[in-house]
Each structure stands twice: as C-alpha cells, then as structure tokens.
C-alpha cells in the first residue's frame, strides 16, 4: 500500500466523516455559542483537508488558502463572541 | 522510512480530529464541548501540517506549514477564552452533573467585571449563589 492510496482511502474519509458529525452539531446546537464553536471546528478541519489535498495534488499554492482560512476562523470567533457579549437579550 | 513516519503522523492527526468531532457531538454541555474541541483539533491539524512540511522538498512549503501551525497554536486559546467568557456572561447553563461552579456570583453581569473577593465568605451555606448549573439534562443537550 502506497502513501497515496493511504491518504485517499483512510485519511480523507475520516476527515469527511468528522465534518459531517460537526455539521450535525451546527444544525442542532441549542445556543448560538454552540454554533459558533461548531463553525470554528469546521474551518479548522477544512485546513486539514486542504493540507491533505495539497499533498495529493502536489499543488503547493493551495497552502496560501489555508493561511487565509486560519486567519478568518480566528477573526470570526472573536467577532462573534464580542457581539454575543454586547447583545442585550438572549 | 519517511513513508512510515508520514503514515504514523497523519493517522494520529486524523484520529485526533475525529475524536474532537465525536466529542463536540456527544458531550453534554457547551463548556465540555469547548474543552474537547480546541485542544484535539489544534493537535490534529498541526500533525497533518507537519506531514506536509516533511513531505515537500521545497523550503517555502515547510515555512508556510510551520507558520500555520504557529498561528493556530497562538490564536485558538484566545478564541476559546473569549467565546467561553461570552457564553458564561450570557447565561449558558452548565451540565446537570457539574459538582462546583467556582465563578458563581463573582461576575458582575452588568459590567462584565470579575470581583476579587468571594461573596460566600460572609454568608452562610444556605445563601450561597446557585450559579448556572442546569436543572435537567435536556437544557444543555
């Protein structure tokens, strides 16, 4: 078994199942803060998927997208928590 | 040799991410979900990025991957702290089986400031603030 088939048939399916499980929590989360951390986790797993895809397709340009996504995930979580704290009613 | 190292690192990383997503689905409480998510997902993505840094012979790819790992390790605790503080201040209930809520009565809900002294020292046990521990399982589900 080569490394390419291992990535294709083991690592990527595990990451895909993880995104589906987090998406269930994103739909069902009882409060808005649950949805915020679910969104954050989806973006973080997306960075991992982009990394594996970079390795498999040998396109190193795609890692730039991962940098931007990491930045956006942090900024969105901080902005969400800032405005949730400022909001008057729940 | 390199292939075996890459396989081991990526397996641990993918399993860490899988356990993080399982935890965010199954944990009974927002705070437990937060505690599972941040550490395990950061470690998993960091290991996957380390695979890319080892596997590519180019120095620019390794620099970018290590920069992403560094950025994730710095920023994810800050984001988790801010969202946890916002959740506590807006009154998200704790799990029913929580033994102690040490912040109970110490936050001023109007201004969001933390008081220094414990308010329970002057009061008797029956007057201690209850905190935000939920009444039933369904409340935090």
* Cβ proximity of B61 and A63 under 8 Å: yes
| % of residues, chain B, pLDDT over 90 | 45
Task: Summarize pLDDT for B37-63 with one digit per residue, the tens.
Answer: 899 999 999 999 999 999 988 899 999
Q: Do B52 and A85 touch (CB under 8 A)?
A: no
Q: List the domain range (segments joined by +) for residue A32.
A: 3-86
pLDDT confidence of B124, banded at 50, 70, 90?
A: very low
Is A87's Cβ below 8 Å from some Cβ in B?
A: yes
Evaluate whether A51 touches B40 at the Cβ level (below 8 Å): no
Report chain A residues whose CB lies below 8 A from the CB of B141: 30
How many domains are there within chain A? 1
pLDDT at B1: 85
Q: Do A51 and B91 touch (CB under 8 A)?
A: no
What is the nearest CA distance from B76 to chain A, expressed in angstroms? 7
Q: Which residues contact B39 (CB under 8 A, 6 or more apart)?
A: none
Better pLDDT: B127 or B78: B78
Mark yes or no for CB contact B13/A82 under 8 Å: no
Q: In this structure, what token pair is assigned to residue B82?
A: 């801010």
- Per-10-residue mean pLDDT, chain A, length 90: 90 94 90 91 94 91 92 92 78
Closest CA to A73 of A45, A31, A32, A34: A45
CB neighbours of residue B92 within 10 Å: 23
Burial of B4 (0-12, 13-18, 19+ CB in 10 A): exposed
Shortest Cα–Cα distance, B108 to chain A (Å)? 13
| pLDDT, chain B, mean | 83
φ and ψ at residue B53, rounded to 5 degrees: -65, -35
Q: Which residue in the block uniquely carries the two structure tokens 């984001």? A: B79
CB distance A31–B92 less than 8 Å?
A: yes
For residues A33 and B87, is the Cβ–Cβ distance under 8 A? Answer: yes
The C-alpha R_g of chain A, in whole angstroms, comes to 16
By C-alpha distance, the chain B residue nearest A51 is B49
CB within 8 Å: A90 and B14: no
């Amino acid at each position: 078994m080569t490394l390419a088939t291992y990535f294709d048939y083991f690592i990527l399916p595990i990451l895909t199942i993880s995104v589906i499980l987090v998406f269930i929590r994103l739909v069902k989360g009882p409060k808005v803060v649950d949805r915020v951390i679910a969104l954050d986790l989806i973006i973080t797993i997306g960075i991992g998927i982009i990394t594996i895809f970079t390795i498999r397709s040998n396109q190193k340009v795609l890692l730039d997208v991962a940098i931007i996504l990491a930045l956006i995930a942090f900024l969105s979580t901080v902005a969400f928590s800032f405005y949730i704290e400022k909001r008057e009613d729940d | 040799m390199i292939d075996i190292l890459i396989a081991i690192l990526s397996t641990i990383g993918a399993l860490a991410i899988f356990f993080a997503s399982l935890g965010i689905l199954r944990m009974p409480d927002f705070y437990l979900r937060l505690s599972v998510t941040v550490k395990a997902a950061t470690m998993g993505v960091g290991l996957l990025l380390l695979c890319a840094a080892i596997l590519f012979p180019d120095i620019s790819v390794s620099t970018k991957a290590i920069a992403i790992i560094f950025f994730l390790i710095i920023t994810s605790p800050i984001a988790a702290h801010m969202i946890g503080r916002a959740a506590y201040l807006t009154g998200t209930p704790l799990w029913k089986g929580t033994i102690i809520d040490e912040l109970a009565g110490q936050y001023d809900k109007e201004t969001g400031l933390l008081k220094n002294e414990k308010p329970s020292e002057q009061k008797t046990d029956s007057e201690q603030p209850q905190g935000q521990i939920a009444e039933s399982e369904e409340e935090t589900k």
